[in-house]
Structure 1
Amino acid sequence: MGLSVYSHAFRAGIVACGLAWFGPADLRAETAEPSAPAELVQRSAEPFGLAASLLTSGGLRDKWLGLQRRLEDEMVQLALCEGDRDGCVSPAALKFLDIVDAARLREGRARLGEINRAINLAIRPVSDLAQHGQIDVWTSPLATLARGGGDCEDYAIAKFIALRHAGLAPDDLRIVVLRDTIHGEDHAVAAARLDGRWLTLDNRRMAMVEDADVRNFRPTFVIGQHGVMRYADASLLADASGSILVAPLVLSALVADQLNLPITD
C-alpha cells in the first residue's frame, strides 16, 4: 500500500516547498562569522566538500533556533512515550517511534534507507501556503506526522531527528539547502555520513544519492549540531563528462539568490 500511495502522490505532482529563507530582501539578513580561519569548517567535513561559515544572525538562523525549542518539547514527549507506549496519548509519537524501531533493526545504509522510505511514505507533499496559510513554516516531526503533510524542509527535519534517534552521531547528520540551477528553486534535504561519504535523503525519491552524484543543484546552506552555516560562494557546474566542477559565483548570481523569496519543492 505504501509504495502505491507514494507513486500516486508523485503522479499528482510535487507541490511548492514554500520556504522563504531570507525574509526581507536585505543582503545583510544572513550574516556569517568573520572570515577568520577558526570560523571556517574544513572542506572535507561538510556535504559536497565545500567550506562553510557559521551564521551569527538572520532569518534562517532565527527560524532554526525557534524550531529547536519546539524540538526540545517533542524530545520529552518521545521519551515519555518510549518508556510507556501503552500510556502514550500521541499517535504521532507512536508512529515516529515505530519508524525509529524499524530502522534500529538495520545497519549501515539499510538503516538510512529505512528512515528515508518510511518518512517519505508517512508524509504527503503539501505546501506551507496550502497547509498553514503562509509560507516558510518550519514544522517539528511530531507536528508534521500529526498533520500527515508537509513540504521539503518538513521531510528533511523529520529525517534529521529520526536518524539521530536511531543512533547516528550528531556530527554525521545535516540538513542541506540546495539551489536548483535549472528551475531557479530551492530545496531542502537531509544528509547522513556513512563510511566517510555523505548520502542525501530526498522526499522526491526513495533512492539515496551520494552528494558527489547530485546534478543541477548548488548547495547554499547547511544545518547541523553547531548551527546554521552558509556555504562558501561557489557553484556546482557539470562539465561535458558529467563530473562536478567548483567555480566561484559571480556577484549577480549571489544577489539573485539573496533576493529570491519564494522557494519551491
Structure 2
Amino acid sequence: MNLFISRACIRLALLVAGTLLVWAAGLPAIAVQLNEDRLLQVARAQYGENGVKAVTSWLRMIEATRPLATSEQLRAVNRFWNSSVRSVEDINVWRQTDYWATPLESLGKRAGDCEDYVIGKYFTLLQLGVSPEKLRLIYVRAKVGGQSIAHMVLGYYETPSSTPLVLDSLTSSILPASQRKDLTPVFSFNAQGIYVAGQQRSVESISRWQDLLTRMRTEGIELNSSGTQP
C-alpha cells in the first residue's frame, strides 16, 4: 500500500469543501471519444517512445476490458492506473502546487497525485461505457498514520441510493464505502454536476475541471454532452 498523499490534494479539498454545492436537475448525457492517432502523436511529441508505450498499453487495456462485466472492468481499471502511475506531488512533477493532469500526461510522466489517479480511472470507465451517473470523483478525509488528511477517490454507484464502491490509489482492493472506516466523504462531483446535500451548483464552477477538459481535447480525448437525461 502506498501511503503518500499530496499536500496539494489537502489544500484543494479544504479550499473548495466549504464552497461547492449540488447540481441535481437536468443532468447532461455524457460520452467520451478517443482519437487514438492523435493521442499517440501527442504522446510521441511530448514524451517520446516511452510515452507511446504507456498510451498504447492504456488503449490495449481498454479494448481487452470492454467485453467484461462492470465489476471486472472496475478491477482492471483500478489495477492498471495504480500500477502505471507513481504517487508524486504536483510540485515535483509539474512545478505547480496544484495541477490536474490529463490521462495522457499522467501516463507520459508515469507520476501523479491523488486526483490524477481518479481522473484516469474516471475517463477510462466512461470510455468503457459505464454510465456517467454511476461515477463520482469524491473528496474525502482519510485516516493515515494516525492523521486525518484530504484525499480523492473514485466512487461507483450501482444505483442512486447504493453505497458506492471505492476505487483508491492507496489500495488495490475495491470495497464498499461502508467498509472504508478510514474515509469520511466531504463532497463529490462528476461531469454532470457537484454533489453536496441540500444545495446546487454546476460543475462548470470548478475552473481546474474546465482547464482539464480543454487540454484533453487538444490531446484527442473529447468529453461530449448531448442534451439532458430524463
TM-score (norm 2): 0.66
- Provide the C-alpha distance between the structure 2 equivalents of 1:104 and 1:80, rounded to a whole number of angstroms: 16
After superposing on structure 2, the runs of 4+ consecutive aligned residues of structure 1 that deviate more than 6 Å are: none
Identify which of 152, 162, 178 aligns with 2:124.
Answer: 162
Partner of 1:145: 107
> Is the CA contact 1:18–1:135 (under 8 Å) kept in the aligned structure 2?
yes
Identify which of 6, 19, 27 aligns with 1:30.
Answer: 19
- Note the alpha carbon deviations across 1:7-51, whole angstroms, 9 max, x for none: 7xx4xx52535223168x799x72536xxxxx668xxxxxxxxxx
> Is the CA contact 2:24–2:193 (under 8 Å) kept in the aligned structure 1?
no
RMSD of the TM alignment (CA)? Answer: 3.1
> Is the CA contact 2:20–2:194 (under 8 Å) kept in the aligned structure 1?
no
Identity among equivalent pairs (%): 22
Q: CA deviation at 1:208?
A: 0.2
> Is the CA contact 2:156–2:166 (under 8 Å) kept in the aligned structure 1?
yes
Partner of 1:254: none
Partner of 1:14: 4
Identify which of 194, 201, 207 aligns with 2:158.
Answer: 194
Residue 69 of structure 2 aligns to which amino acid in structure 1? Answer: E
- Note the alpha carbon deviations across 1:58-90, whole angstroms, 9 max, x for none: xxxxxxxxxxxxxx9xx66x32439xx9xx433
> Is the CA contact 1:102–1:114 (under 8 Å) kept in the aligned structure 2?
no
- Provide the C-alpha distance between the structure 1 equivalents of 2:140 and 2:116, rounded to a whole number of angstroms: 15
- Provide the C-alpha distance between the structure 2 equivalents of 1:213 and 1:26, rounded to a whole number of angstroms: 26
- Note the alpha carbon deviations across 1:181-219, whole angstroms, 9 max, x for none: 551310001111236442110001111011121103211
- Provide the C-alpha distance between the structure 1 equivalents of 2:72 and 2:151, rounded to a whole number of angstroms: 24
Q: Does 1:206 align with 2:196?
A: no
Q: 1:22 to 1:110 in 2, by over 3 A?
A: closer
Identify which of 173, 187, 196 aligns with 1:221.
Answer: 187
Q: 1:197 to 1:104 in 2, by over 3 A?
A: farther
Q: Secondary structure at the match of 1:18?
A: helix
- Provide the C-alpha distance between the structure 2 equivalents of 1:137 and 1:32, rounded to a whole number of angstroms: 22
Residue 18 of structure 1 aligns to which amino acid in structure 2? Answer: A
> Is the CA contact 1:22–1:30 (under 8 Å) kept in the aligned structure 2?
no
Segments of 5+ residues of structure 1 without an aligned counterpart are 1-6, 34-38, 42-71, 233-265
- Provide the C-alpha distance between the structure 1 equivalents of 2:76 and 2:125, rounded to a whole number of angstroms: 10
Q: 1:162 to 1:31 in 2, by over 3 A?
A: closer
> Is the CA contact 2:5–2:114 (under 8 Å) kept in the aligned structure 1?
no
1:15-94 equivalences under 5 Å are 15-19=5-9, 20-21=11-12, 30-32=19-21, 78-81=34-37, 88-89=40-41, 90=43, 91=52, 92-94=54-56
Segments of 5+ residues of structure 2 without an aligned counterpart are 26-30, 44-51, 199-230
Select the structure with the greater relative contact order (CA < 8 A; seq sep ≥ 6). Answer: 2
- Provide the C-alpha distance between the structure 2 equivalents of 1:160 and 1:31, rounded to a whole number of angstroms: 20
Q: CA deviation at 1:231?
A: 4.9
TM-score (norm 1): 0.58
Q: 1:187 to 1:210 in 2, by over 3 A?
A: same
